[in-house]
Amino acid sequence: MPSIRTSSVVAFLAALTSAPSHAAQPAPPAPGTLARQLEADFVAAFEKVAPSVVVIEVEKPEDERDVVWRMFFDAPGDERQDDAREPEKKKQEKDELPPPKPHRSPQRQEAPQNQGSGTIIRADGYIVTNHHVIEGATKIWVYLRDGSRHEATLIGSEPQADLAVIKVEADKLVPAKLGDASSARVGQWTIAVGAPFQLEYSYSVGWLSGKKRGESMKQQFMPSHYVQYLQTTAPINPGNSGGPLCNIDGEVIGINTLIRGIGTSVGFAIPADLIASISQQLIENGAVTRPWLGIQIRSVRNHPEAASYYPATYQGVVVESIEPGAPAADSDIKPFDLITAVDGVPVASSSDLIYEIVRKRADQQVQLTVLRGRPGETAQEFKIKVQLGAMPRDPDTKTAARGPAPRKDKDPLGIRVEAATQELRERFELSDAPGVVVTEVDEDGLAAEFDLGVGTLITAIDRQPIASPEDYQQRIKAADLGKGALLFLVREKRQSYLVIRKGE
């Protein structure tokens, strides 16, 4: 037996040494193979999406054209702004610019024109573009890739999402295929197609450099917008607006809409899922009916008082107040609740919550994941269902009620409260909720520092309900004003809260 094993090992080793040394190594790819494959993928993506891209020319007053340009392309810090350049330098730059090339249109109008791009979304002539491209237009022209020109009709627009739908009467239109923007990953290829600087069907490549760019955009540029933008490094310039942002498969994952300064490789696009929802409403109704919760909110990361009550998380949205008669008012949502998810989708900021709600239908029911905390206790999680409603077009706002002149008091907050009689409820337009009414405020007291005014209904302190002035005195004495007392309020039928804390 030992001799057999020895001879077998020797034979095995001989076989290994006699085999060619390069047999186990794969052959290297031919020079340029990978580059050519990537090149072929880029070409295929362009050829797939280009027939769905249109060039849009609009006639609009000169002053409106200037406003649109500055809003979307002269971002803060852009060194191209005229005011930042010296007259001599501007003259020199003008002299160095080559003369503009003539556009293919044989009948250029005398009125000032502006140009953008659009994306065909239906074979029967519907095209999506940016609201700022067609805003204030007196006439809209659409050029197809075959060179034909068609006058377009505006179907509807949604300024707060910067989207618009127009329609042309034309045959053999090729609609773009909308991709799934939610599954797109940062680092994937992105491809922009449009007509920057009247260079039609220009094609630029970059990668997805960010998602959910909503919170910072609202703070810096557009407070009323609710879009969670895609961010791309693919070069986007004036004229690209309304054109598609694609993945490498030629699927449209967004519509290019704005940039952070020209030549910065920081561009933004509206995600395809929002485009599909809004364009469908515009086509069917000519307008967008936005879903409505009816709450005022603030991101917990920007809320020092809430952070102390919810120390275990930096993600979520604090309910600041609840509008009277709003869908949220008919649910179990309370002021100072921390909303962390909508239908299981996490929300980290105010923009996240707004975006998740506007993607719903106005008649849809949603489930909110909520944390509710009390001082010194671990916050509890609740699942709360809310039936959404349609956002009012012109919400009715009222000025705050004012009561009698303040006077000095020994109350820890410097206020006087009374039982919520029917006369006081009518006087200050209060709801029927249990509580006590603030009838006087010491101008030098703690409540005055936090704008707790006359006519406010206090319903609870540190989540302990209040039904009488005696309840109030008991709760406020038990509260730790050094750490902060959490007051739940009703002002003109609107539920809200206030954290009052003594200074050092």
| pLDDT tens digits for range 45-57 | 889 999 999 999 9
Q: Residue 220: its pLDDT value, please? A: 47
CB-based burial, 340-367: b 16+ in 10 Å, e otherwise: bbbeeeebbbbbbbbbbbbbbebeeebe
Q: Residue 72: its pLDDT value, please? A: 45
Q: Is 5 exposed, middle or buried (0-12, 13-18, 19+ CB in 10 A)?
A: exposed
CB 233 within 8 A of CB 207: yes
Q: Residue 249: its pLDDT value, please? A: 92
Query: Whole-number mean pLDDT of the chain?
Result: 77
Cα 75 from chain centroid (whole Å): 18
Domains 39-77+110-288 and 415-500 share a fold: no
CATH class of 39-77+110-288: mainly beta
Q: Residue 28: its pLDDT value, please? A: 67
Nearest to 271 by CA among 157, 359, 200: 359
What is the C-alpha separation between 337 and 397, in angstroms, rounded? Answer: 24
For 254, the token pair is 């967004």
CATH number listed for the domain at residues 415-500: 2.30.42.10
Q: Residue 261: its pLDDT value, please? A: 62
Q: Residue 283: its pLDDT value, please? A: 92
What is the C-alpha separation between 112 and 69, in angstroms, rounded? Answer: 13
Query: Does the domain spanning 291-390 belong to CATH 3.40.50.410?
Result: no
Question: Would you name the residues annotated as active-site residues?
Answer: 132, 162, 241
Cα 302 from chain centroid (whole Å): 17
Q: Residue 24: its pLDDT value, please? A: 57
> Side-chain half-sphere of 57: how many Cα atoms within 13 Å?
20
Q: Residue 257: its pLDDT value, please? A: 86
CB-based burial, 214-232: b 16+ in 10 Å, e otherwise: bbebbeeebeebbbbbbbb
Q: Residue 225: its pLDDT value, please? A: 63
Where do the structural domains in the chain lie, given as residue ranges?
Answer: 39-77+110-288, 291-390, 415-500
Nearest-5° angle of CA 195, CA 200, CA 205? 65
Q: Residue 437: its pLDDT value, please? A: 92
Instruction: Collect the ranges in the chain with pLDDT lower than 70.
Output: 1-32, 61-113, 214-225, 261-264, 312, 375-376, 393-410, 504
One-letter amino acid of 375: P
Q: Residue 139: its pLDDT value, please? A: 92
One-letter amino acid of 27: A
